[in-house]
A and B are shown apart, each in its own frame.
Chain A
Amino acid sequence: MVQASHTVTLEQLPDLVAEHAAEAGLYDVAVFVVDIRETVLRRLTGKGGDAAGGGQEFTVRGSLPGHAYQRVDLLPESASGGVPGGRRRWWVAVTDGVERLGVVRADSDTDDEPTRDILRDLASMTALVLLSKRSFSDSYARLVRTEAMNVAAEMQWNLTPPPAYAGRGVTVGAVMEPAYQMGGDAFDYAVDGNTLHLSVFDAMGHDTTAGITANVAVAACRNARRQGASLAQTSEQVEQALLQQFSTSRYVTGILADLDVASGRLTWINRGHPLPILIRDNRWTTELACPPAGPMGADLGLPVTERTEQLQPGDRLLFYTDGIIEARDARGDEFGRDRFVGFVRRHHAGRHTLHETLRRLMAAVMDHNDGRLADDATVLLAEWRGGHQDELTP
């Protein structure tokens, strides 16, 4: 299937998957893809501008396919589901092992462990093929959108790495809102041997220029990092790039951090941004203090201080922008830092995966604000497991 997929377009993918699934004894196969806000699963039919023409939809909240998606699981429909031929109908989450892309539906004659293995294999294969097509498919971009997007959001979704990563004893997830009307928020992470780089940025303003500013900042950060610059040097090079482009009229706040995934040693700097939060044992939380060196691009000339902290296995790190805690409801009440941290602690305490926790957090923030945020809100959550890589789950 992987070989056959090389020259297939996204629109041809459902037929390709169904064809190969039939050879393995799976019938009536359908691929469903989740939208960027993770609220709805839309069937990839290959028809129409969004490749979803005439297809069914399920909500992530409150449907069986949605349940399989949330739990990253394989779930059967009840036997009385009325599937032709007395077959069993299955829903299985489509994931590359970390990022959740949607679900696959398939019917089988058998209900044994080998069948379940084939279903999981089918879902993995579907994920890889979907991932190989999405970066150059406008149909995919339309498929995963439920609203029109502004130019800044179009830039930001291309700027950031995939919203989920796991490997070398670390899991990383990120969410950004408003998904369709973004301003200057961005996050970044990158693996460099034993080092996991983590950063979050907030460019001033809420216009297209804010998006451009964030793009310059992230590109300058990556450029410096890839040339071996330290965190302090990296932030200074970001500052220089911003000054060249915008004089002192636009600035970007941010936290830049490096985590040594072998030792658990975290190093970070603060460029005028809300401090990261450390959650330990799911019991106590603390802000990772670091004197602010002023926003990048404001040219305040303040010294950049690097701080370090030794993490313990199981520690979680929250990086965020102010929009997440300052989201206000109709009465003007802020979502607030305590509610934000409390939500992560409650939902990520064994009940949900890291990425499902973030999906639920952003849904709660959006609900709090009646579905409309006045400011960008971004959360990057990283969990360091130390020597417990085997327990990694997406």
Chain B
Amino acid sequence: MSTDPPAPKKPRAAPADVQVHTAAPDRHLVTVTGHLDLHTAHHLADALQPLLDRGPHTVLVDLSGVTFLDSTGLTCLITAYRTARSTGARLSLIAPSQPVRKMLELTGVDQILDSYPSPEAAPD
């Protein structure tokens, strides 16, 4: 399974960018853009961990701008799901892009991680 993005590595076609926006005291929106892979997945893991550790908060991960997801990126999402289950946090995905959806459906991860079309559509 690929750990290298299909595009040439130099220069980095789309380094992942992770932005955290706290919409309400217990509702956070994490927006990821670019490649979510071996080289960048730890940025997302670092951003998610403290939010998920806070207990029954809602954490939404916007993946609409993710151009490539590899097995390390997917492992990061699965790990977040597992953490959320143990801390009581509510983790949802927002508008996963086509390459992300494809990977989630292929592996069956879409059966454990809920996706919503927009942050507004996600329940509290």
A residues with CB within 8 A of B: 183-184, 202-207, 248-249, 251, 253, 272-274, 291-295, 298-302, 321-323, 326, 328, 332, 374-376
Interface residue B79 (Cβ < 8 Å from any Cβ of A)? yes
Q: Which interface residue of A205, A253, A273, A326 has the most chain B CB atoms within 10 A?
A: A205
Complex alpha-carbon distance, A253 and B38, angstroms = 17
Name the 6 nearest CB pairs between A and B, nearest first: A292-B108, A204-B71, A272-B107, A375-B2, A294-B108, A206-B3
Q: In the complex where A205-B71, A248-B82, A249-B75 touch, is A273 in contact with B106 (Cβ < 8 A)? A: yes
A323 and B2 within 8 A (CB): yes
A374 and B112 within 8 A (CB): no
A300 and B78 within 8 A (CB): yes
A253 and B2 within 8 A (CB): no
A302 and B108 within 8 A (CB): yes
Interface residue B23 (Cβ < 8 Å from any Cβ of A)? no
Q: Which interface residue of A293, A298, A375 has the most chain B CB atoms within 10 A?
A: A298
Pick from B75, B79, B82, B108: contact of A272, CB below 8 A. B108
Complex alpha-carbon distance, A8 and B78, angstroms = 55
Interface size class of B (residues with CB under 8 A): 20 to 34
Interface of A is mostly: loop
Pairs A–B under 8 Å by Cβ, sample size 16: A183-B3, A203-B1, A204-B1, A206-B2, A249-B75, A253-B107, A292-B106, A292-B108, A292-B111, A293-B108, A294-B109, A294-B112, A298-B75, A322-B2, A374-B4, A374-B6
Q: In the complex where A204-B75, A248-B78 touch, is A375 in contact with B4 (Cβ < 8 A)? A: yes
Complex alpha-carbon distance, A273 and B7, angstroms = 23
- CB-CB < 8 A to A298: which residues of B? 75, 78, 107, 109
- CB-CB < 8 A to B3: which residues of A? 183, 204-207
Q: Which interface residue of B3, B72, B105, B112 has the most chain A CB atoms within 10 A?
A: B3
Pick from A203, A274, A299: contact of B106, CB below 8 A. A274
Complex alpha-carbon distance, A298 and B103, angstroms = 14
B4 and A206 within 8 A (CB): yes
Complex alpha-carbon distance, A277 and B72, angstroms = 27
Complex alpha-carbon distance, A253 and B104, angstroms = 13
| B105, closest chain A residue (CB) | A292
Complex alpha-carbon distance, A328 and B6, angstroms = 7
Pick from A300, A328, A332, A375: contact of B1, CB below 8 A. A375
